[in-house]
Amino acid sequence: MSEVTIIGVDLAKRVFQLHGAHQDGSVAFRKKLSRGQFLAFVAQQPKCLIAMEACATAHGWGREFEKLGHDVR
């Protein structure tokens, strides 16, 4: 199967919900990660689009993901 091309993120204080999808829209993964696991997991993913809700912490996370080479929206 192809690599993950988009990751959708539901940001929260303690637990983050992630949904990864392939180019054809099929589910690559669904994950529930703690704050400590979140950035490390995203760093291991291939460069892709990361879509997040607009909230107070989204810009900070977006900058971290862009440093890893991801496209953030």
Q: What are the extents of the domains in the chain?
A: 6-72
pLDDT of residue 59 exceeding 60, the answer is yes
The mean pLDDT value of the chain amounts to 95
Q: For residue 25, what pLDDT band results from cuts at 50, 70 and 90?
A: very high
Tell me, what's the pLDDT at 1? 54
pLDDT given at position 50: 98
Q: How many CA atoms lie within 13 A of 21 on its CB side?
A: 12
Of all residues in the chain, what percent carry a pLDDT higher than 90? 88
User: What is the residue whose two structure tokens read 């539901």?
Assistant: 10
Question: pTM of the prediction?
Answer: 0.92
